[in-house]
A = this chain, B = another copy of it.
Amino acid sequence: MAKPTQPVRGRPKQSSSVPLTGTSELDRDSDVPLYFQLAAALKAMLEVDEWEAGARFASERELEEQFNVSRAVIRPALELLVGDGAIVRVKGSGAFVAPPRREVRVGGLVGLWSEQHGDRTVTVLSARKRRPDRTVSHFLQIEDRRTPVAHVHAVVDIGKPSVILVDSFSSVALVPWLLPTARALESAEKPPRPSGLGLTRATVSIEHTFFGEWGSSQVGASAGDPALMGRFVQFARARGAREECPVEFARLIYRADGAQLAFELS
């Protein structure tokens, strides 16, 4: 099949595909797998000629032809590029050069709503009181498991196409304003002012997972996509109190591609 220099009938082959320039030789005698060689070659091409974000990337069938390998080589190579944040793949449409990674601050809802973060849009999915499970009661240091905690499930928009899933558990006694705030956002009313609470420190742990069926649909990913999960515990000192105590435990799910989690340590 000859490669047309002019758009063809039907859907034009969008001639601007990224890696159609340069040589395209893979070493079949090497110990390095073909798919890894291919990923390295494509990544190098992307870095040399700096393509703008959104530029069309070669289709898998084009790459098949150009590098003389089967799609079982192409696909893992492209998966590496996706995991590396270099390209984005859109079903039915094609692959595109990805925008640079966004820096994302990690935090819970208490911190988000205590301070002024007008640029963050929060969509509350559910907000209700709940009996804590073992994990939650452990992190919030709740001894009597019958004491209900505030459970808010929300999506935090962090700009353009990207969002975070937040699963926040907080002490009703210490942060009484959080549930009303969440409910006000749910019904698009004016939220109450948060009461003064001296936030002290927080702990975070990050690990790699993948999206489940439900989470993926919320953030516009698909099931199985790589994700970063953060466990976040916010500590605070109540007004006039001497000792600090945990006020919020949150699980946060980020898309692994496109995000760069940032913190400041003490």
A interface residues, Cβ below 8 angstroms from B: 32-33, 35-36, 39-40, 76, 80, 83-85, 101, 103, 201-210, 212-213, 223-224, 226, 228, 256-257, 259-266
The answer to whether A202 touches B264 (Cβ under 8 A) is yes
Instruction: Indicate if the CB atoms of B263 and A204 lie closer than 8 Å.
Output: yes
With the chains together, A39 CA to B265 CA distance in Å?
36
Measured in the bound complex, the distance between the Cα atoms of B201 and A201 in whole Å is: 13
Q: Report whether B83 and A223 are in contact in the complex, using a CB–CB cutoff of 8 Å.
A: no
Sampled A-B contacts (19; CB under 8 Å): A32-B213, A33-B224, A39-B224, A83-B208, A83-B210, A84-B208, A85-B208, A85-B209, A103-B205, A203-B263, A205-B260, A205-B261, A205-B263, A206-B206, A206-B260, A206-B261, A207-B259, A208-B259, A265-B265
Q: How far apart are A254's CB and chain B's nearest CB, in angstroms?
A: 9
One of B39, B204, B223, B256 near A262 (C-beta < 8 A): B204
Contact A36 B223 (CB under 8 A): yes
Of chain B, the residue at the smallest CB distance from A207 is B260
Cα A263 to Cα B213 with chains together (Å): 29
Report how far A36 CA is from B225 CA in the complex, Å. Answer: 11
Contacts of A209 in B (CB 8 A): 83-85
A203 to B266, CA, bound (A): 9
Q: Contact check: which of B32, B80, B101, B224 meets A210 at CB < 8 Å?
A: B80
* Chain B residues with CB under 8 A of A261: 205-207
Minimum C-beta distance from A46 to chain B (A)? 14
Bound: A103/B210 CA distance, A: 19
| Beyond A33-B223, A33-B224, A85-B209, 6 additional pairs, beta carbon < 8 A | A101-B207, A201-B266, A202-B264, A203-B263, A208-B226, A264-B265
Kindly state the separation between the CA atoms of A263 and B206 in the bound complex, as whole angstroms: 9
Choose from B80, B202, B226, B257 the contact partner of A224 (Cβ within 8 Å). Answer: B80
